[in-house]
Chains A and B, each alone.
Chain A
Amino acid sequence: DSGVTQTPKHLITATGQRVTLRCSPRSGDLSVYWYQQSLDQGLQFLIHYYNGEERAKGNILERFSAQQFPDLHSELNLSSLELGDSALYFCASSVGAGVSYEQYFGPGTRLTVT
């Protein structure tokens, strides 16, 4: 158990819908990262927040947005969902502001878009 929690564990929704994935980092960690993992694309970095501020962006679609709240939990919002958005979404956390080589991953949210 990494100490990172993610909810929900599974999510099934229809195309065109909007969903919110939630992540709570390990106690004491100020950085939160979001990743998308699909079979053909591997583990793709989406976005990094540190203490409420965006630090780095990866190949995150405009339909996706994220934020980190004052209590340090983070939410990833996915809108206008398409079939291709079906994937495992992981969040990870670390202590510092810079990208950490040692990140602690949550159990993931499996999103299925039908």
Chain B
Amino acid sequence: GQSLEQPSEVTAVEGAIVQINCTYQTSGFYGLSWYQQHDGGAPTFLSYNGLDGLEETGRFSSFLSRSDSYGYLLLQELQMKDSASYFCAPGGATNKLIFGTGTLLAVQP
């Protein structure tokens, strides 16, 4: 079967670091994508992990552990504009990305 778990909401203050966790179960797993979506906007691609370990892109990093079916997105030096929903999306043998309901990040001043 397929399953995906992320926290529904996370709150942090400007300048802080926040980690959004993702656990998944999907057959034929090949990698984990992360997307950001501002309220009312379109999802935009942030990062992808095809191998175990950390991928860094500016203030954002993403981590994958295949053996634990676990990944996380790390956002550093939080800014108000980072307030958005974040989706992890595992890809697998079903030939589709599973997005789920995402994590709503609220950055406070």
Contacts and interface: CB of A to CB of B under 8 A. Distances in A.
A45 B44 contact: no
A43 B100 CA distance: 6
B94 A106 contact: no
Contact of A103 (B31, B45, B95, B101): B45
Nearest to A45: B96
Given A56-B94, A101-B31, A35 B44 contact: no
Interface of A: 2, 33, 35, 41-45, 48, 55-56, 58, 90, 92, 98-99, 101-108
A35 B42 CA distance: 11
B83 interface: no
Contacts of B99: 35, 42-45
B91 interface: yes
A35 B96 CA distance: 11
Interface in B31-80: 31, 33, 37, 41-45, 48, 50
Nearest to A56: B95
Interface residues of B, number: 22
Interface of B: 31, 33, 37, 41-45, 48, 50, 87, 89, 91, 94-102
A44 B95 CA distance: 14
Interface residue SS majority, chain A: strand
27 contacts: A33-B96, A42-B87, A42-B100, A43-B37, A43-B43, A43-B87, A43-B101, A43-B102, A45-B96, A45-B97, A56-B95, A90-B43, A92-B43, A98-B95, A99-B91, A99-B95, A99-B97, A101-B33, A101-B50, A101-B91, A101-B97, A103-B97, A104-B45, A105-B42, A106-B42, A107-B41, A107-B42
Contacts of B50: 101
**Which 5 A-B residue pairings sit nearest by Cβ, starting from the closest?**
A42-B101, A43-B99, A105-B42, A56-B95, A101-B33
